[in-house]
């Protein structure tokens, strides 16, 4: 691990903000690191307001989109709400379709089959729309690069509205409206919305046009918060407001489908982390293992008995997904070792029988192990399909653009992408990708980095500090949980390995007479010798509450020791 201490802000700025807000200088420093420099900005940060959301009509083509939907309703046309099979896509489809159904009955949903149709808008989906007399398709979380597909639909007399958040290509599809803040010609003030977030802006615009109260939209925010967490978009600006109020809905009045998923979770209050690790994998498992429509059905269901039935089906998909992902990860790791590829700049592996639904998770697992840009390929019809994952600081999407001559199609983000190619091009692509990464990556990026917000002494840690830090939530990219470093720590003598195979480490630390404070380090069992025999050591950690036997105490969640 590379430990990188963030540069300290100007002392004068820290002092001034601390005095204005009447907070500790450490808190002022953490706020300045998040771009909070004034009382007004701090108020927005700690107390987000729904009034902070931007006017949806600032987004290019929004008026065109609203007008086309209103015309479809007036003309009694059939509307098909189409979305990708992952969490962002299925939550977006559930959000838009259930909202439109409150206005108008002729609305149906369509999620492409991951295996038969692949990612994004498909010819099969357009043919389905034609066969069933749909005049308008609203595509969510996909479509901004589907130039030929949109033309194909237009030839059949089917209009498209695209709500996407991926980077467009050089050309924008010839749709009625293309809502995407990443368009070069879109001046919308915030361009990090997820697909479901853009779906929300569309229903916000429809709501304004109909002069309905904003309160009507609040129940949809649980879906938006889930998509924000699952799609790993920054929790800054508008996303922070949407996530903050979405979590309130999840905790106070969740939709029936969410209730069915979380009914056995023994937690008073779910955080964005819980959403990412409890709700999102289950929604994702439907599209990975069977079909994304199962997830949409659960998310729009209002009958609790039926929702529980759907949730138990999805639970089974998730259990099967876990088994497959473990099995394929082991095979892929063995393949890298067998081929003596541990020292490459990339990991690229392929087996024709691997389950397409879990290759993205496997790519993430391989990245955790070898920490380098990674692609996992499997057979998909007569092509090879892959999921790509990257390391912090390296744009895998750009690297793939440099290999475009060997790729059939690709799309995605800086850190995650998907692609297809013909099997004959696999070896050429593999060597080309390795070459591009080797030539362009900063070698430092191949060592995992822990970014540290501040150095801290043990006597500065208190329940009050933890309470203030908890108010920084929801945490995520752009607003990560504060991480601290403390030097010259000593264990009280009771440090031990815990968990299966002593995989984790539990200890209590002191520093110059301060403490002891309890600490836990997950997957740091091998570091036990560092803290034994009274030796001084440094730790990097975040602060958290430890709930044990009805008691609540402050503890350090250790990320690394040296």
Q: Are 197 and 215 in contact (CB under 8 A)?
A: no
pLDDT one digit per residue (tens) for the chain, 562 residues: 999 999 988 999 999 999 999 999 999 999 999 999 999 999 999 999 999 999 999 999 999 999 999 999 999 999 999 999 999 999 999 999 999 999 999 999 999 998 888 889 999 999 999 999 999 999 999 999 999 999 999 999 999 999 999 989 899 999 999 999 999 999 999 999 999 999 999 999 999 999 999 999 999 999 999 999 998 899 999 999 999 999 999 999 999 999 999 987 777 789 999 999 999 999 999 988 889 999 999 999 999 999 999 999 999 999 999 999 999 999 999 999 998 988 899 999 999 999 998 999 999 999 999 999 999 999 988 899 999 999 999 999 999 999 999 999 888 778 889 999 999 999 999 999 999 999 999 999 999 999 999 999 999 999 999 999 999 999 999 999 999 999 999 999 999 999 999 999 999 999 998 889 999 999 999 999 999 988 899 999 999 988 888 788 899 999 999 9
Q: Are 130 and 101 in contact (CB under 8 A)?
A: no
Residue 395: how many other CB atoms lie within 10 Å: 16
Nearest to 411 by CA among 96, 84, 112: 84
pLDDT of residue 410: 87
pLDDT of residue 381: 86
Q: What are phi and psi of 156, to 5 degrees?
A: -90, 5
Beta carbons within 8 Å of 323's beta carbon, 6+ residues apart: none
Q: What domains appear along the chain, each with residue ranges and CATH number?
A: 2-8+450-561 (2.40.50.460), 56-312 (3.90.1640.30), 339-446 (3.10.310.30)
How many angstroms separate the CA atoms of 269 and 282, rounded? 19
pLDDT of residue 8: 84
pLDDT of residue 69: 98
Length of the chain in terms of residues written:
562
pLDDT of residue 264: 75
End-to-end Cα distance, the chain = 10
The single residue listed with the structure tokens 């208190």 is 462
Reduced to 3 states (helix: H, G, I; strand: E, B; else coil), residue 550 is: coil
How many angstroms separate the CA atoms of 493 and 533, rounded? 8
Q: β-pairing, 416-421 with 449-452?
A: unpaired
pLDDT of residue 548: 82
pLDDT of residue 490: 95
> What is the pTM assigned to this prediction?
0.91
How many angstroms separate the CA atoms of 395 and 347, rounded? 15
H or E element in which residue 319 lies: helix 304-338
pLDDT of residue 148: 96
Give long-range contacts, CB 8 A cutoff, 24+ apart: 19-27: 23/468, 24/465, 24/468, 26/454, 26/456, 26/460, 26/465, 27/465, 27/468
pLDDT of residue 515: 81
pLDDT of residue 547: 82
pLDDT of residue 133: 97
pLDDT of residue 342: 85
How many angstroms separate the CA atoms of 176 and 154, rounded? 10
């Amino acid at each position: 691990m590379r430990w990188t201490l963030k540069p300290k802000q100007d002392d004068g700025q820290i002092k001034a903000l601390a005095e204005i807000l009447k907070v500790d200088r450490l808190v002022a420093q953490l706020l300045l690191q998040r771009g909070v420099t004034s009382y007004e900005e701090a108020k927005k940060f700690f107390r987000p307001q729904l009034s902070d959301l931007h006017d949806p009509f600032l987004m290019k083509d929004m008026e065109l989109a609203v007008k086309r939907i209103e015309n479809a309703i007036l003309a009694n046309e059939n509307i098909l709400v189409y979305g990708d099979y992952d969490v962002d896509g299925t939550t977006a489809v559930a959000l838009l379709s259930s909202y439109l159904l409150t206005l108008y009955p002729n609305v149906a949903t369509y999620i492409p089959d991951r295996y038969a149709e692949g990612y994004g808008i498909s010819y099969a989906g357009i043919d389905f729309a034609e066969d069933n007399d749909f005049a308008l398709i609203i595509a969510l979380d996909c479509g901004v690069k589907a130039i030929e597909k949109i033309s194909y639909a237009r030839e059949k007399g089917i209009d498209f509205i695209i709500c996407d958040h991926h980077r467009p290509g050089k050309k924008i599809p010839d749709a009625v409206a293309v809502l995407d803040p990443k368009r070069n010609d879109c001046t919308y003030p915030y361009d990090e919305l997820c697909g479901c977030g853009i779906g929300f802006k569309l229903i916000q615009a429809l709501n304004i046009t109909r002069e309905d109260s904003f309160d009507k939209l609040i129940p949809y925010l649980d879906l938006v918060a889930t998509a924000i967490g699952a799609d790993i978009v920054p929790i800054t600006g508008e996303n922070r407001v949407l996530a903050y109020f979405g979590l309130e809905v999840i905790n106070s009045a969740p939709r029936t489908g969410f209730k069915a998923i979380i009914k056995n979770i023994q937690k008073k209050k779910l955080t964005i982390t819980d959403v990412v690790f409890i709700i999102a994998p289950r929604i994702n498992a439907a599209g990975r293992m069977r079909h994304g429509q199962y997830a949409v059905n659960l998310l729009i269901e209002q009958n609790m008995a039926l929702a529980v039935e759907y949730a138990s089906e999805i639970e089974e998909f998730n259990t099967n997904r876990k088994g497959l992902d473990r099995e394929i990860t082991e095979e892929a790791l063995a393949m890298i070792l067998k081929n003596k590829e541990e020292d490459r700049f990339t990991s690229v592996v392929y087996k024709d029988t691997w389950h397409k639904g879990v290759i993205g998770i496997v790519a993430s697992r391989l990245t955790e192990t070898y920490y380098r840009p990674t692609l996992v390929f499997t057979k998909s019809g007569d092509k090879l399909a892959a999921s790509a994952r990257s390391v912090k600081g390296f744009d895998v999407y750009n690297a793939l653009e440099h290999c475009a001559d060997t790729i059939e199609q690709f799309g995605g983000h800086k850190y995650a992408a998907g692609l297809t190619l013909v099997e004959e091009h696999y070896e050429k692509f593999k060597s080309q990708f390795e070459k591009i990464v080797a030539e362009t990556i900063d070698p430092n990026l191949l060592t995992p980095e822990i970014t540290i917000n501040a150095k801290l002494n043990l006597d500065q840690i208190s329940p009050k500090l933890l309470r203030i830090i908890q108010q920084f939530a929801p945490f995520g990219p752009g607003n990560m949980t504060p991480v601290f470093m403390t030097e010259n720590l000593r264990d009280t003598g009771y440090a031990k390995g815990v968990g299966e195979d002593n995989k984790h480490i539990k200890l209590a630390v002191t520093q110059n007479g301060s403490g002891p404070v309890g600490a836990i380090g997950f997957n740091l069992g091998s570091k036990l010798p560092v803290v034994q025999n009274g030796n001084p050591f440094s730790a990097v950690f975040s602060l958290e509450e430890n709930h044990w036997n009805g008691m609540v105490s402050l503890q350090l969640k250790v990320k690394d020791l040296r």
